[in-house]
Structure 1
Amino acid sequence: MGFYLRVITLLMVSMSYVQGGFLYGQPCTIRNTAYLRVGEWSLPTNDTKCVDVTGFKMNLHGRINLANYTKFFEEVEGADTLYADHLNLTHFPIMIVKSLPNVETIDLSGNRIKLIPPKMFKLAPKIQKLLFDDNRIAIPRRKPLISSHSLKTLMLSNNNIAFIYQSTFSKLPSLEVLYLDNNNIQDISPLFKKMPNLKFLHVGRNVLNYIPAKKNISDSLISFITKSQKTLLH
């Protein structure tokens, strides 16, 4: 995905619902984005707000090799946005996220990652948006997916999710925007009253056998998208 298309995606997510306005902070531009590529990097003319590693090379295990790039991450540690989308990653880029202590938005769309580190509050204490669409997420049966007091937007579209549980989002008390569209979910009743601040929920293109009223999900819910449910194949 190109730089400008990623910016449009982030803007669309931000505009879904934001209390008091449409955008969180300033958008990423060429002037405030640092780029890490194979064997080289470039820093912006202005202070670094965003880090783009989509031109970087992975090793055979689908992990990003950070050897010899310590100086780069020292220069960009103030950035609040990370682009690591469409890199064919199979593992969450823990070391990169650790190198960005102020990161608020992480775009990991279009990879092959199954597991998100559960203690996100330690790894990225300031995170507000996690874009994790088009991956291969594994939803744990008895444990929360992730734990974060700061996360407000979570995109899990097109992850082949079949089941969610009462514990899945129980450790995300600040969550306002949740995308679960284009999965294979039949039942969203485990969500009922588990996210007190949820304002936007997209569950379109699943296989829901029952569409509940908004009030059953959260007293704060404003926008509830359920369109184009798929037919369950037996």
Structure 2
Amino acid sequence: MNKQQKKIQKQNEKLKIQSQDNDSQQNIEDIIHDKNDFICPICLNYIVAAVSLKCGHTFCEICLHEYLLYFKGCHICNDNMRKSKFAYCYLLDQMIHEFIKSHHPEELKTYEMDKIKNKEWRKKKQVSSIDVGQQIDVRDPNFVWNVGTIKRLKISQEASKIKYLVIHYEGKSDKHDEEIAENSPRFAALGFYTSRNDIPKYYKQTKNPFLKNLLYIECMDPNDNQFNQQFFIEDNSSESE
């Protein structure tokens, strides 16, 4: 094979690679051309800070956290979300941004504003420092937000050396104290949730003397904005001091 033939062969290989790249790009565009693929089923806007559940459905981070305050089941399939680990989908976030930029540039400004709102929400929710004796908002196993006090810090014996916080729930006996990983989404800055009046809370039962040592939860119905659901927490779950 002479030099000219080698040169032609290299050019053909280069063109073949470029053609494959173009085909791949076209396939990607064909896959993601539908706007509905990137819409949050809860707010019906573009997904911001995408979070996927074990069932495979994806929502905005804020939408999912708010939805979990009232409901156990996935908004789409009713699978128990409260037993599911969250998976943040950073690649999907990038795809949504590129899709809007390429196909709906007129909506990019609104999307960017929603991203800023999500960033501010995270900043307000974040616990700025961890100290023994500090009070923070803590989500208990019943998915109710409480004021909790950090009793002590504990380092796991595993190779990962995960730091745990030993939490005491205000208004509950010590037997309900929990060890929760420091990076758990169950923590929030003091008052972030517990200062709200529109989410489930514990109340002491005072009307019935046989239930005076129990707590009960009032749950707001998001559809009519009124507290119309009440249910008791069993002794072994939420006993009052």
Asked if TM exceeds 0.5, the reply is no
The structure number with the bigger radius of gyration is 2
* More strand, by proportion: 2
| Structure with larger RCO (C-alpha < 8 A, sep 6+) | 2
TM-score bucket of the superposed structures, by smaller chain: under 0.3
Task: Give the TM-score normalised by structure 1.
Answer: 0.25
Task: Give the TM-score normalised by structure 2.
Answer: 0.25
